[in-house]
Amino acid sequence: MHPILFFVYHFFKALIEVTRRVFYAKITVVNKERGRFKEPCILVSNHPSTLLDPLNAAEEIQTEVHFLANASLFKNLVAAWFFKKLFCIPIERYEDTGGKPLNNKASFEKAVQHLEHGGCLYIAPEGTSYIHRRLRKLKTGSARIALAAESQANFQLGLVLLPVGLNYSDPTQFRSHLLTILGEPIRVADFEADWKADEAAAVRKLTDHLAEKLSNLLLDTVDDEEDRLLCYLEEMQQNENRLPSYPHFLRSKKTLAAIQGWSKEVPSMLATFQTNVFSYFQTLEKLGVSDLAVYEQLKVKKLNGSFLALIGTFPFFLLGYLTHFLPAYSTGKLSKILNKDIHWAPTYKYVIGVVLYPLMLGFQVWVAGKFGVLPGTGISIKWLYALSIIPAGLVAEWWLKTWKLEREKRRAARCFSTEPESWKKIGAVRTSILEILESAPES
């Protein structure tokens, strides 16, 4: 790689690492050591968050990563030059050609050459990006490129496919959580006999194998209704017994397996269970409380500790809220004006935020500098304000969440005191839902 391109790549990688630590409230990486390798590799992931998916996957890889990107990004001459310089190879989809036959021969050859030279290539085999928590049917391009590269090297290249599961708590929201799971590498040479017997069948077999491995790294729901049910159950389980990201993911995998097992074996039981869960959350919505507020009212019954903390931290909350309100509001508002597609919402928020947020914060720091120094101290107000931006912002984030919960807890307490029998029924429904989950057999 040319030294200038090497510098550009690692500059952007460092910038992305810093900015995504701001964009996401928490990033957890499982099997991080699998991102360190020397053999040629095709990096593959699910695709729920458009541009952020390749960035989040590539950030966990030590070597430089090239990307297969939608040909639509290269239609503009300036954009084409930019993306090619940033290690992107255009790939056509039927969406890009208006249904006309695809012409990806040159791109496939370039990808194969990159792998033959020991490179790493990112591919999103689903082809298009949707925010749903499910793995759509994989396109065969990644398997075709992998097997073509290995066959040209007489299956001595050592190429691997590295599946990466990207699990977003909410891909459309700023300050959501990201769980990245690096799967076990798939040796392409293991499919040599299949390739020599029937090339098309080998491509399908490798694609199916990759789909299975990717699905294991995700919460792969069947449809929106199943995903909604799983979300409700995850919320209840976390409130009852809060776990870190990866153990929580494993528990959710077990819950999803139970749901899908009931769907096949006892669909009537699942229908009743689902109705009870949906009805429970609809009741809470009408009352204006969350499941966490119900849990704390029924199990914890502590109302004052957090409230005192809210009072004590109010000045820091006010500083953080006033500091971050305008940059955050402007970023969200501008992204809505420029983009109407919910599937592209995370990309627009991220890109606009990377540019607009620091500019607006910098302007606010400049304004603070106009106030000089704190009287009698000689301490610059500008630098004091600048140093407060991150901690005050974190306090404001915690304060708003805690204030919302405290209000819900007090609302729940009032309802409990005025209608104790109704709340006993709500508590009984909640308990029965959790008991059914606990009794679900291991998959």
Query: For residue 68, what pLDDT is reported?
Result: 86
Specify the DSSP class assigned to residue 373: B
Residues recorded for the chain: 443
| Residues of the chain above pLDDT 90, percent | 78
Give the tens place of pLDDT for each residue, 228-255. 999 999 999 999 999 999 999 999 999 9
Query: CA 181 to CA 359: how far, in whole Å?
Result: 34
- Per-residue model confidence (pLDDT) at position 88: 85
> How high is the pLDDT of residue 80?
66
Which residue type does 271 have?
Answer: A
pTM here is 0.92
First to last CA, the chain: 47
Topology (CATH) of 3-215: Glycerol-3-phosphate (1)-acyltransferase (3.40.1130)
The closest of 31, 38, 44 to 162, measured between CA atoms, is: 44
Let me know if 365 is exposed, middle or buried by CB neighbors in 10 A (0-12, 13-18, 19+): middle
* Phi-psi region at 103: left, alpha or beta (left = phi > 0; alpha = psi -120 to 50): beta
pLDDT of residue 443: 59
Q: Where in the chain is the domain with CATH 3.40.1130.10?
A: 3-215
Alpha carbon dihedral 46, 47, 51, 54, in 10-degree steps, equals 10
Phi (first) and psi of residue 310, to 5 degrees = -65, -40
Q: Are 214 and 163 in contact (CB under 8 A)?
A: yes
Tokens of 189: 């040479």
The pLDDT, as a whole number, for residue 301 is 58
Distance CA 324, CA 390 (A): 10
Q: What pLDDT score does 291 carry? A: 96
State whether residue 260 is helix, strand or coil.
Answer: helix
Complete DSSP assignment for 103-140 = --HHHHHHHHHHHHTT-EEEE-TT-S---SSSPPPPPS
* CA–CA dist 272, 270 (Å, integer): 5
Structure confidence at residue 79 (pLDDT): 63
- Cα 441 to Cα 164, 255, 436, 438: the distances in Å are 28, 10, 10, 8
pLDDT of residue 87: 74
Mark the ranges of the chain whose per-residue pLDDT is less than 50: none
Residue entry with tokens 């402007």: 330
Percentages of the chain per state (helix, strand, coil), in multiples of 5: 65, 10, 25
